[in-house]
Structure 1
Amino acid sequence: MNPIWLPASLLGGLFQAWRTALQERLRAELSVSGAGLVRYLYGLPFAILFAVLWLSVRGDSVPPLTSAFLGFAVAGALTQMAGTILLIMAFGHRGFVVGTAFSKTEAIQVALVTALFLDEHLPPLAWAGILLGVAGVLTLALAGSGLTARQLGQALRQPAALCGLGAGSMFALAAIAIKFATAKLAGVDTVGSALVSLVVVMTIQSVLHLAWIVARDRGTLRAVGRSWRNSAQVGLLSALGSACWYTGFAAAPAALVRIVGQVEVIFTIGFARFYLRDTIRWHEVVGLLLVAAGVIFALLAAM
């Protein structure tokens, strides 16, 4: 594994939590679809800038975009779009922290899929980290509601849980597709393959989402244009976060990147408390400690 995966995963968690907090505030100005569009449309220019600068500094040319690469890029783009919309919908049902918490089951979903179908096995400590992390996010999501064991099954059928779990599944599939896409680019280093992949994926997402809004909801497009100051910040953080995630996927097993990336939950609680002014309760502190323990276990497994 390329050691760059670790700082990339940690920074990816920070930028994603920051971006999601800004995106949540945009919901006061934009629809769910509009809040999702700004991530791609305003993020694409920054992604192009990052790729051009990196390739120029290294003296590399743009690698050939093969049909295999484009196939995985399209798969990653579509599943990531679906995950983003589901995550924003989850916020509307139970709030910022809980919506993000349900989506964090993505880590175990990535690990299970890659172990079962891709023969990408993790050491026992990494699995322990996954279980602790999942316990942490479920504590964040469910403990404060006072659910009994019998009520737990019913809670998991509620809209927030379904949207969050669905978002986790889509993000898990996106991580795997993007990892395969970066592996199909020849003649560039790990970061270069990640940044080129990011440009292609964001281009696909921007074109598809923009076409849908032009055809179905032009009022949202005008609102996206009016919100350019806040939307540009979301775009920048989206490009930074995705660049970090893509670099991590290119450098290490996707499941390991996502386990360490659960530090996003820690940052999410921080942003919820100090930026969105949400009240933090005791069960969220417990969940936070469990997530932190899971990340530590994963780091020990990678040593």
Structure 2
Amino acid sequence: MFVLPWLWAVFTVVAAAAQTARNAMQRSLTGTLGTIGATHVRFLYGLPFALIFLCLVKLALPGAGFTMRPVFFAWTLVGAVAQIAATALMLAAMQERSFVVTTAYTKLEPVLVALFGVVILGDHLSLWAWLAICIATSGILAMSWRPGTAMSVRPALLGIASAALFGVSAVGFRGAIRALEADSFVLGATTTLVAGLAVQTVLLSGYLALFDRPGLLAILRSWRQSVFAGFLGSFASQFWFLAFALETVAKVRTLALIEVIFAGIVSGAIIKQATSPRDGLGIALIVAGVALLLTMG
């Protein structure tokens, strides 16, 4: 199957834009459902849409198939559980009142995911790609840190652990897509998405049923407000997985840093508010790193 060499970048940009919109939707649900409840919305209400995506793919590619081995389920479980754990650690770090430092450390993900991808999956990265990853990540750090920000060991460690687990999650899902050996990368990505969301839905629903039944009932009652957030979450994940099917997780997650710029545009921080020299430097470094990645990586 012929695939355009730059298609992964298109998928990544679409995924980053959809994720920005999903985050805005989830933010509005946090007040009524709580943090865990708003997070679970992306899994519980995203799964039906992922199943619809899979049905559409099967209709479009009636002859395509895949080979499902135990290793596929192992990779999927790693990706799904790591993503849940990463989110929990990130929220725990933010409760330590070091939000800015935590954010900065979690944005170390591209560097960590590059290391994991090389060691675990055998992904190859050129020297230019490594340089691009470091430049773009330094831009995130420049925007995240502020002079005089209080440093604390515990939230920093939690933030780094969160970034590492987000990296493990991305590597796990790419490993699952590759292990599926599908005839079409679209079928492989979509099938893995359904499997991952199913695992996450079962795990979090079970947790809430045991330890926060009122919270689970609140999620079910708020289905009207949650359906669109679930769709956006599933839509974003669909394009993340399509990108993972075509390119290394390191390149995908580095290009995904443009989500920070998208979020700034949505919030009006870039358009309506004056940009500080530090923010300007950070944006310039992100753009430079992404440009280098796309042209030389």
**What range describes the TM-score normalised by the shorter chain of this pair?**
0.7 to 0.9
**Which of residues 173, 177, 185 is equivalent to 1:178?**
173
Amino acid at match of 1:237: L
- Mapping of residues 220-299 of structure 1, within 5 Å: 220-273=215-268, 281-299=276-294
Per-residue CA deviation, residues 37-57 of structure 1 (Å, 9 max, x unaligned), is: 111001101111111101111
- The question of 1:129 aligning with 2:125 is answered no
Preserved contact between residue 125 and residue 300 of structure 1 (Cα < 8 Å): no
Preserved contact between residue 98 and residue 140 of structure 1 (Cα < 8 Å): no
How far is the alpha carbon of 1:59 from its aligned partner? 0.9
CA spacing shift, 1:30–1:262, aligned 2, 3 Å:
same
List gaps (5 residues or longer) in structure 2: none
Preserved contact between residue 121 and residue 175 of structure 2 (Cα < 8 Å): no
Partner of 1:22: 25
Q: What TM-score does the superposition give when structure 1 sets the normalisation length?
A: 0.86
Please tell me the root mean square deviation across aligned C-alpha atoms, in Å.
2.6
Preserved contact between residue 130 and residue 259 of structure 1 (Cα < 8 Å): yes
How far is the alpha carbon of 1:209 from its aligned partner? 0.4
Q: What TM-score does the superposition give when structure 2 sets the normalisation length?
A: 0.88
Taking the aligned partners of 1:32 and 1:115, their CA distance within structure 2 comes to 33
CA spacing shift, 1:208–1:2, aligned 2, 3 Å:
farther
Aligned partner of residue 77 in structure 2, secondary structure: helix
Per-residue CA deviation, residues 130-179 of structure 1 (Å, 9 max, x unaligned), is: 1111111111221x2435xxx7xxx26252x4443332211110111111
CA spacing shift, 1:264–1:102, aligned 2, 3 Å:
farther
Preserved contact between residue 87 and residue 164 of structure 1 (Cα < 8 Å): yes
**Which of residues 195, 208, 217 is equivalent to 2:203?**
208
**Which of residues 39, 44, 61 is equivalent to 1:41?**
44
Amino acid at match of 1:36: T
How far is the alpha carbon of 1:98 from its aligned partner? 7.0
CA spacing shift, 1:99–1:7, aligned 2, 3 Å:
farther
CA spacing shift, 1:127–1:187, aligned 2, 3 Å:
closer
- Mapping of residues 109-148 of structure 1, within 5 Å: 109-142=112-145, 144-147=146-149
CA spacing shift, 1:131–1:186, aligned 2, 3 Å:
closer
Per-residue CA deviation, residues 241-264 of structure 1 (Å, 9 max, x unaligned), is: 111111111111111111111111
- Mapping of residues 71-220 of structure 1, within 5 Å: 71-89=74-92, 93=97, 101-142=104-145, 144-147=146-149, 155=151, 157=153, 159=155, 161-220=156-215
